[in-house]
Amino acid sequence: MLSINFFRYKIALLNVLRNRRRSLITLLSIQIGVVSLILFGGFVASMYEGMRENMIRSQLGHLQIYQAGFNQYGHIEPEQYLLTQEQVQQVSNLVSGLAEVELLTPRLDFSGLITNGNQSVAVVGNGIDPDKEALLSSAITLIEGEDLFPEDQAGALVGQGLYNALNANIGDYLTLLASTADGAVNAVDVQIVGAINTGTREVDNRLLRINLSHAQDLQFTQGVSRLVVLLKDTAQTQIVMDKLSQLFEQEGLTLEMRSWSQLADYYHEVVNLFDGVFGFLKIIVLFIAALSIANTMMMAVMERTPEIGSIRALGATRHEVMMLFLTEASYLGLFGSTLGVLLGIFMANSITLAEFIMPTPPGSSQSYPIRIFVEWTVVWQTALTGVLVAVLASIYPAFKASRLLINQAMRSA
């Protein structure tokens, strides 16, 4: 039953080559569609990645581990949901056994007031391990001054916005007020060693980072709020998370864990928004390409009306005529998509290499050069879509061709 009509493919191919100008126009519209989808898809992907890695490497890490109940109640009574020294030790032992893990670092969160004598500003503070945090927070940039070192017991890094608001200089001493774990108020002196930029303005307006031991002294505690895990590869987040929860269960540790993805609400909002924009753009681009293809195919049908009459007279069925035009369209789709993919990859790499600087994204405080990823899923899906659109757009012209009345088609010679 299924035997191939070799001539159908040959005639369709020769017809593509026959009216070069028209075929070129059709190819061009498929190509433009494919290229723009690849470029936009690659740009969005690079933006997602930039945002993701920036969040991971400035604040979130890949995974965070907390005392059980921390995420539900911790914001009301943070002091009740700290990880104990013993738990930290246990977790460190477990985590250091995993090859995927780059490092593990503790943080103690606190909120407080910082005053320079005549004004006070509310701050969101972290007690950190400066050595490890320097590795984790590689996306944080130092604007002024120096990094924090463990030896600077009183040293503090402040967010850029906070630094400006305090009107302070590097080396100034300020007073930090915070409530202790048992509800009293305590104060310590801190010395500003540097101003930092995390990439997120909201955060920079409130951020204060001091040594963990200093923060623990301030709060009269030995505990930490969270342990932040940095992995070698973001793609392994889920795997490591699964492994760890298994290990915790085996060891009888009742802990909570969150991945960067669970913590990055803003990231997901942006991704959803851009996916929507991308989808809309895709529809418009494909629609325009489809119109152009349908138009050129319709012209081909009109031009070849007498030929259609002839082959029908020779015994070709309507189905055969339809297949002849759809085959032609799939060649155009295939060539157009292939050229579009090659051009798209070339342009994506060229634009990335050219390092054009992008305008600063909203809510961010750093600028980046434009990068366009060659996303293989986007590439093959777009190529397939290109072929599909060419064929779908040709269905109506092909149908028209198949329905021509034979004697009238022959007359128009």
Interface with other proteins (CB under 8 A): 1-7, 10-11, 14-15, 18, 306-307, 309-320, 405-407, 410, 413
Using the minimum distance from each CB to other proteins, give the nearer residue, 308 or 393.
Answer: 308
Closest approach of Cβ 15 to other proteins, in Å? 6
Which structure tokens are listed for 173? 């001493």
Closest approach of Cβ 396 to other proteins, in Å? 19
CA separation, residue 183 to residues 72, 207, 223 (Å): 20, 22, 15
Using the minimum distance from each CB to other proteins, give the nearer residue, 190 or 297.
Answer: 297
Strand extents, DSSP E, 245-374: 255-259
Q: What are phi and psi of 237, to 5 degrees?
A: -55, -50
Using the minimum distance from each CB to other proteins, give the nearer residue, 176 or 322.
Answer: 322
Give 237's Cβ-side CA count (13 Å radius).
Answer: 19
Closest approach of Cβ 294 to other proteins, in Å? 22
Closest approach of Cβ 304 to other proteins, in Å? 9
Q: Which neighbouring-strand residues pair with 195? A: 144, 158
User: Please, what is the Cα angle at 297 between 293 and 299, to 5 degrees?
Assistant: 120
Separation between Cα atoms, residue 150 and residue 128, nearest integer Å: 9
Question: 93: exposed, middle or buried (C-beta count within 10 Å: 0-12, 13-18, 19+)?
Answer: exposed
Using the minimum distance from each CB to other proteins, give the nearer residue, 91 or 332.
Answer: 332
Closest approach of Cβ 18 to other proteins, in Å? 6
Using the minimum distance from each CB to other proteins, give the nearer residue, 5 or 84.
Answer: 5
The candidate with the shortest Cα–Cα distance to 25, out of 281, 295, 345, is: 295
Using the minimum distance from each CB to other proteins, give the nearer residue, 116 or 310.
Answer: 310
Maximum pairwise Cα distance, the chain: 101
Closest approach of Cβ 309 to other proteins, in Å? 8
